[in-house]
Amino acid sequence: MFRWLEDAGNRAVTSTVTMTEVLVGPYKTDDEVRADALFGLLSQYPHLEWIPPNLEIAEGAARLRGRHGLRTVDALQAATAIHSGATCLIGNDATFRRVAGIDILLLDDYL
Protein backbone atom coordinates (compact mmCIF):
# COMPACT_ATOMS: atom_id res chain seq x y z
CA MET A 1 0.00 0.00 0.00
CA PHE A 2 1.76 3.19 1.14
CA ARG A 3 5.31 2.05 1.90
CA TRP A 4 6.29 5.34 3.55
CA LEU A 5 3.86 4.53 6.36
CA GLU A 6 5.90 1.49 7.26
CA ASP A 7 8.82 3.71 8.35
CA ALA A 8 8.70 4.39 12.09
CA GLY A 9 9.10 8.15 11.68
CA ASN A 10 5.98 8.53 9.56
CA ARG A 11 2.38 8.76 10.74
CA ALA A 12 -0.98 8.88 9.02
CA VAL A 13 -4.47 9.46 10.32
CA THR A 14 -7.90 8.59 9.05
CA SER A 15 -11.42 8.74 10.33
CA THR A 16 -13.14 5.60 11.50
CA VAL A 17 -15.73 6.64 8.91
CA THR A 18 -13.16 5.57 6.30
CA MET A 19 -13.54 1.95 7.39
CA THR A 20 -17.27 2.17 6.78
CA GLU A 21 -16.65 3.49 3.27
CA VAL A 22 -14.05 0.83 2.46
CA LEU A 23 -16.23 -2.07 3.61
CA VAL A 24 -19.41 -1.06 1.75
CA GLY A 25 -18.30 -2.61 -1.55
CA PRO A 26 -17.50 -6.07 -0.20
CA TYR A 27 -20.67 -6.14 1.90
CA LYS A 28 -22.75 -5.08 -1.11
CA THR A 29 -21.60 -8.20 -2.92
CA ASP A 30 -21.75 -10.42 0.19
CA ASP A 31 -17.98 -10.90 0.02
CA GLU A 32 -17.27 -11.51 3.71
CA VAL A 33 -13.79 -12.82 2.97
CA ARG A 34 -12.77 -9.58 1.23
CA ALA A 35 -14.40 -7.48 3.97
CA ASP A 36 -12.49 -9.39 6.63
CA ALA A 37 -9.23 -9.09 4.68
CA LEU A 38 -9.63 -5.34 4.22
CA PHE A 39 -10.58 -4.83 7.85
CA GLY A 40 -7.59 -6.87 9.00
CA LEU A 41 -5.15 -5.07 6.72
CA LEU A 42 -6.32 -1.55 7.50
CA SER A 43 -6.92 -1.97 11.22
CA GLN A 44 -3.37 -3.25 11.74
CA TYR A 45 -1.54 -1.06 9.21
CA PRO A 46 1.68 0.35 10.71
CA HIS A 47 1.59 3.95 11.92
CA LEU A 48 -2.00 4.53 10.80
CA GLU A 49 -4.07 6.16 13.54
CA TRP A 50 -7.86 5.75 13.45
CA ILE A 51 -9.68 8.81 14.80
CA PRO A 52 -13.36 8.58 15.71
CA PRO A 53 -15.60 11.58 15.14
CA ASN A 54 -16.04 13.87 18.15
CA LEU A 55 -17.90 17.13 18.60
CA GLU A 56 -15.05 19.29 17.29
CA ILE A 57 -14.71 17.15 14.18
CA ALA A 58 -18.51 17.12 13.73
CA GLU A 59 -18.61 20.93 13.90
CA GLY A 60 -15.72 21.21 11.44
CA ALA A 61 -17.42 18.75 9.10
CA ALA A 62 -20.65 20.76 9.22
CA ARG A 63 -18.68 23.91 8.38
CA LEU A 64 -16.96 22.19 5.42
CA ARG A 65 -20.24 20.68 4.25
CA GLY A 66 -21.97 24.05 4.42
CA ARG A 67 -19.19 26.00 2.70
CA HIS A 68 -18.09 23.51 0.08
CA GLY A 69 -21.06 21.22 -0.51
CA LEU A 70 -19.19 18.06 0.50
CA ARG A 71 -21.11 14.90 1.27
CA THR A 72 -21.27 14.23 5.01
CA VAL A 73 -18.83 11.33 4.87
CA ASP A 74 -16.30 13.37 2.88
CA ALA A 75 -16.71 16.35 5.21
CA LEU A 76 -16.03 14.08 8.20
CA GLN A 77 -12.88 12.72 6.59
CA ALA A 78 -11.60 16.18 5.67
CA ALA A 79 -12.45 17.59 9.11
CA THR A 80 -10.61 14.67 10.74
CA ALA A 81 -7.51 15.40 8.66
CA ILE A 82 -7.62 19.10 9.50
CA HIS A 83 -8.36 18.47 13.19
CA SER A 84 -5.38 16.14 13.49
CA GLY A 85 -2.99 18.56 11.81
CA ALA A 86 -2.53 16.55 8.64
CA THR A 87 -0.91 18.39 5.75
CA CYS A 88 -2.30 16.11 3.04
CA LEU A 89 -5.52 14.20 2.44
CA ILE A 90 -5.39 11.13 0.22
CA GLY A 91 -8.61 10.21 -1.52
CA ASN A 92 -10.18 9.77 -4.89
CA ASP A 93 -12.91 12.40 -4.92
CA ALA A 94 -12.13 15.69 -6.67
CA THR A 95 -14.60 17.52 -4.41
CA PHE A 96 -11.91 17.42 -1.70
CA ARG A 97 -10.05 20.03 -3.76
CA ARG A 98 -12.65 22.58 -2.63
CA VAL A 99 -11.20 22.42 0.90
CA ALA A 100 -8.56 25.07 1.60
CA GLY A 101 -5.72 24.60 4.05
CA ILE A 102 -4.81 21.02 3.20
CA ASP A 103 -3.13 19.45 0.18
CA ILE A 104 -5.25 16.92 -1.65
CA LEU A 105 -3.67 13.88 -3.28
CA LEU A 106 -6.11 12.18 -5.66
CA LEU A 107 -5.27 8.56 -6.38
CA ASP A 108 -6.53 8.81 -9.98
CA ASP A 109 -3.83 11.41 -10.65
CA TYR A 110 -1.19 8.75 -9.92
CA LEU A 111 -2.72 5.68 -11.56
Task: Say what the pTM is.
Answer: 0.81
- pLDDT digit string, tens, across residues 54-85: 999 999 999 999 999 999 999 999 999 999 98
Q: How far is CA 107 from the centre of its chain?
A: 12
| Identity of the residue numbered 107 | L
Give the chain's domains with CATH numbers: 3-110 (3.40.50.1010)
H helices of 7-54, in order, are 16-28, 32-43
- pLDDT digit string, tens, across residues 25-59: 999 999 999 999 999 988 988 888 899 999 999 99
96: exposed, middle or buried (C-beta count within 10 Å: 0-12, 13-18, 19+)? buried
pLDDT at 7 over 70: no
In angstroms, rounded to a whole number, what is the distance separating the alpha carbons of residues 93 and 59?
21
